[in-house]
Amino acid sequence: MTVDAAVSATTGTLIATRPAGRYHRCSIAAPDVATAAVPGQFVAVEVQAPGTLLRRPFAIAGVDTAAGVLHLVVATVGAGSAWLVAQAVSTRLRLTGPLGRGFTMPADPGRCLLVGGGYGVAALEWLGARLLAAGHRVELLSGAATAQALYPVTRHDTVAGTVVETTEDGSSGQRGLVTDALGDRLRDGDAMVYACGPMPMLAAVAGITRRAGMTCEVAVEEHMGCSVGVCMTCVVPTVHGYARSCIDGPVMDASRIRWESVDPPREDGLRHG
């Protein structure tokens, strides 16, 4: 089986890893990927910790096209992510990408609401910068369980005109769920909504936007095996049958997903932070 010709297996050089809240921001010189990628796509990184056969998928949180550098924001949750953030500068990394389908840019300038849970904001950070640069009004809603798990946006003013942070325990920003904040903001008028985070959050966002009659794209971060369309680990039920989130997504039209048939989160699963 072959994979899309635009996808390349390449080698990058780690040029920096910086702690950012409970995450690490890894910058990788990989000009082929940085030049070809669009917001919403991801890379699969080969990790060399014992027992980690499969490449680990990470959203592209931003690129510096001129320098040929891409940025990942990594939560340390297991052997693979721990290996990645522990690597020394100049380490050569084997990676595949850019992978998957990215977000759709609206045709006309308008209002865009970005809704992210935990590290799910990584998939939205670069999108926000692109939308702002194209003249859209961008509002970022970033939620997490606690202040420590909030996504570390580097510079809010380059990603969104307004940033609202929510925490479930009230330790930072508004107390409550990021979807509560979305309901509040939708009352201010029409918007294109983009979301990334755990599946229950995405299902809630899809329901809220459907009831409000607004268009919504979600970046689905299901467990993946091969990341290139071969193994069917990542399938999501849609109105057209099962879709592979690695190649038919990760960005999908929220109204096409059969949310009622999505598997409940695995008990060992993450809360995106």
Ligand X SMILES: Cc1cc2nc3c(=O)[nH]c(=O)nc-3n(C[C@H](O)[C@H](O)[C@H](O)COP(=O)(O)OP(=O)(O)OC[C@H]3O[C@@H](n4cnc5c(N)ncnc54)[C@H](O)[C@@H]3O)c2cc1C
Binding residues (CB under 6 A) for ligand X: these are 42, 52, 56-59, 73-75, 77-81, 119, 122, 221-224, 250, 266, 268-270
Task: Give 143 or 249: the residue with its C-beta nearer to ligand FES.
Answer: 249
Residue 244 interacting entry, from ligand FES, ligand X, none, C-beta within 5 to 8 Å by type: ligand FES
Residue pair 182/156 in contact by the 8 Å Cβ criterion: no
206 binds, among ligand FES, ligand X, none (CB under 5 to 8 A by kind): none
| Residue 122, contacted partner among ligand X, ligand FES, none, CB below 5-8 A by kind | ligand X
List the single partner that 231 binds among ligand FES, ligand X, none, CB under 5 to 8 Å by kind. ligand FES
Sheet holding 8-20, edge to edge: 56-59, 42-45, 92-99, 8-20, 23-29, 69-75, 62-64
Q: Answer yes or no whether residue 224 interacts with ligand FES by CB under 6 A.
A: yes
How many residues lie near ligand FES (CB under 6 A)?
12
User: Smallest distance, Å, CB 244 to ligand FES?
Assistant: 4
Say which entry of ligand X, ligand FES, none residue 81 contacts (CB below 5 to 8 A, set by partner kind).
ligand X
End-to-end CA, the chain: 35
Burial readout 54-86 (b: 16 or more C-beta within 10 A, e: otherwise): ebbbbbbbbbeeeebbbbbbbbeeeebbebbbe
**Could you tell me the two tokens for 92?**
């050569």
Q: Which of these segments, 23-31, 88-96, 229-237, 252-260, binds ligand FES (CB under 6 A)?
A: 229-237
- Separation CA 181–CA 176 (nearest Å): 8
Task: For residue 208, give the H/E element and its range.
Answer: helix 199-212
Residue 169: phi and psi, rounded to 5, are -95, 0
Angle between helices 199-212 and 178-186 (to 10 degrees): 10
Cβ(263)–Cβ(223) under 8 Å? no
232 is an interface residue for ligand FES by CB under 6 A: yes
Among 33, 234, 243, 257, binds ligand FES (CB under 6 A): 234
> Which of the stretches 15-23, 185-193, 228-236, 255-263 binds ligand FES when contact is defined by CB under 6 A?
228-236
- Residue 232 contact, options ligand FES, ligand X, none, Cβ 5-8 Å cut-off depending on partner type: ligand FES
Residue 5 makes CB contacts below 8 A (sequence gap 6+) with: none
Span of 88-96, 205-213, 225-233, 253-261 interacting with ligand FES by CB under 6 A: 225-233
Which residues of this chain interact with ligand FES, rule CB under 6 A? 224-227, 229-234, 244, 246
